[in-house]
Amino acid sequence: IKANNQYFYQCAFHSENHISQFKYASIPAGNFAKFNHAGPLYLLSKTINQIYKKIIPGSLLDIDFNRLLIHYERYDSKFNWNNQNSIIEIYVPLQN
């Protein structure tokens, strides 16, 4: 999340009920480009750098850089910490 020219990393999970100890937030609906990080978690920053510095600039993707959400990462049953077969999905917002 970007606010006041600062970046914040937030953790989230789906819940049907509001938990008073947590702040409620939602990911705005829209179109997203999906990328996969394959491999150990400690290499995730390398994948993210490659997405923003090589893949996106060399593509025709129309990234929405004005959204508060820079990107979000989805960790599901394919995530396995530092396992070589681990998958993390990375979603980058597109212009609608």
Quickly state the pLDDT bin for 92 (edges 50, 70, 90): very high
Per-residue pLDDT at 12: 83
pLDDT tens column, 26-78: 888 999 999 999 999 999 999 999 999 999 999 999 999 888 889 999 999 99
Backbone angles phi, psi at 54, to 5 degrees: -120, -55
pLDDT for the residue 18? 86
Q: What is the pLDDT of residue 4?
A: 84
Residue 94 tokens read as: 């597109």
Dihedral of alpha carbons 51, 27, 42, 35, sign: negative
Number of H-type helices and E-type strands within the chain? 1, 5
pLDDT band at 81 (very low <50, low <70, confident <90, very high): very high
Say how far apart CA 52 and CA 48 lie, in whole Å.
Answer: 6
Residue with tokens 């923003």: 52
